[in-house]
Copies of this chain bind each other. A is one copy, B any other.
C-alpha cells in the first residue's frame, strides 16, 4: 500500500508559519561566548510559530528529571505554546530550585524577545548534569537567535546543530500529506547519541506497563489544524512505536523530551481521533518519529551495527517487551553483534534470564535483511538449524539486519531498535578526567 504522505525537505520549517534559528553562546563557558558563530558549534536553538499553536509533549519517566522537563510538563498540559528554546552543553539537571528558576527565566527571556506570552514558551536542555546554566550567556544567545530567525533550510540546520551533543550527523525529516481537504506538513529534528533508552510519558509519570529505560530531544512542527488533545493522542502512539522502542545503552536520561507544535496554518477541517483524517495524520507522524528514532540508533555513541529485534510468540505483550529488551541490552549479545557473530547461545541465555516465560525447545532464532521476510534460521525449536556457517556469517555481516526471535507459545509481539556494543562506545564514555567539567552526565 502506497503511504498517504511523501517526504519533503525543510524539516521544522517545512510547515507554514514556523521560524527557526541556532547560535553559539558558549553554554559550556569555554571562552567568553562573545564574537562570531563562525567555526564554533552552535549551542542555543529557537523554534517559533508565527501564531499561537496547539502543543503536545512526551517526557522522561526518570525520577531524576531535569528542570526544563518539569517546566514543560506543566505548560504542555495547557495544550498551547508558540516557541521552544533549547540548549546543548548543559542539561540543567540535578540543579535544585536554582535550576527551576533558570529554566523559567530562559523561557521568560525568549518570550520577551519574541513578544509572546512566557507561558507559551517551552524549554529543553541537554548536556552536563549538575552544573547550573550560565544565564548571562543564555540571555546573550536568545537575543542573538531571536534576531536571526528565518524559515530557510539553513535556519533549520542551525537549530539542529545547536541541539547536537555527541551526535555526528544532523537528524531531520519532513513529510507532506492531504488532510481535511488541504495539504499539510510535519517536520521534525532530533538529537541522540548516548544515554539512550527512552521511556517517555505525557506526564513524566511512569505507567505500570512502560519499560524502565536517552538524552534525546525531538522537536516536531506541523501546520495541520488539530486540537491539542488529538495531537497528544497521536504523539503518545507515535512515540510508543518509535522513541520508546530504541535502545543504545539501556540508560534512560533525565532530559528526554519530545515536543510538538501545531499552528493550524494548513487550514484543514479539524478532526477527531476516530476519523479517517486522524489515521492519515497518525501515519505521517508515525513515519516522522520512527525515521528520527532510527537515526538516533544509527548515530548512537560508538555504534557500528544496528539490529532490529523482532520478537514474536510471547505469552503477553509485557513479556514480549521484556524478552526483546533483555536481548537488546545484553552486553554479551551486543558484543557478538559487533563481532559479526551469529551467536544464538547468548541470545538463548538472555531470553532465559528475562522475566518472560520461555520454553527452550520451542524457540526459533534467525536473521534477515532489514524488513525482509527471507529469514536464515540459526535455531529452530531450540536446536541448531542446518544453515551453513558461512550463510549465518553473511546474515549478520551487514551494518543493519533484523534478528527474528519466535518463542512459539503465544501471540504477543515486540520490536526493539537496538545497537551493538563496541570498543568505541567504551573509549568515548570513559571520559576525559583531566577536565573537571566532565563530572556529570
Contact = CB atoms under 8 A, between A and B. Distances in A.
Interface in A311-360: 330-332, 335-336, 338-346, 348-355, 357-358, 360
A253 interface: yes
Nearest to A62: B352
Nearest to A357: B63
Contact of A427 (B91, B383, B423): B423
Given A332-B249, A332-B441, A439-B389, A65 B352 contact: yes
Contacts of A422: 426
Given A64-B360, A251-B330, A335-B425, 17 more contacts: A61-B353, A62-B349, A62-B352, A63-B358, A64-B351, A65-B352, A129-B349, A194-B332, A195-B346, A212-B355, A249-B332, A251-B349, A344-B439, A393-B433, A423-B423, A423-B426, A423-B427
A330 B378 CA distance: 30
A430 B339 contact: yes
**Which has the most chain B C-beta neighbours within 10 Å: A212, A251, A336?**
A251
Given A352-B63, A353-B213, A336 B430 contact: yes
A183 interface: no
Contacts of A254: 348-349, 352
How many copies of this kind of chain does the complex include?
2
A360 B63 CA distance: 8
A150 interface: no
B96 A331 contact: no
B389 A349 contact: no
A430 B341 contact: yes
Contact of A349 (B199, B330, B441): B441
Nearest to A423: B423
Interface in A398-441: 421-423, 425-427, 429-433, 436, 438-441
Given A343-B431, A346-B441, A251 B353 contact: yes
A305 to B, nearest CB: 11
B64 A212 contact: no
A432 B384 CA distance: 19
Given A94-B345, A349-B253, A421 B431 contact: no
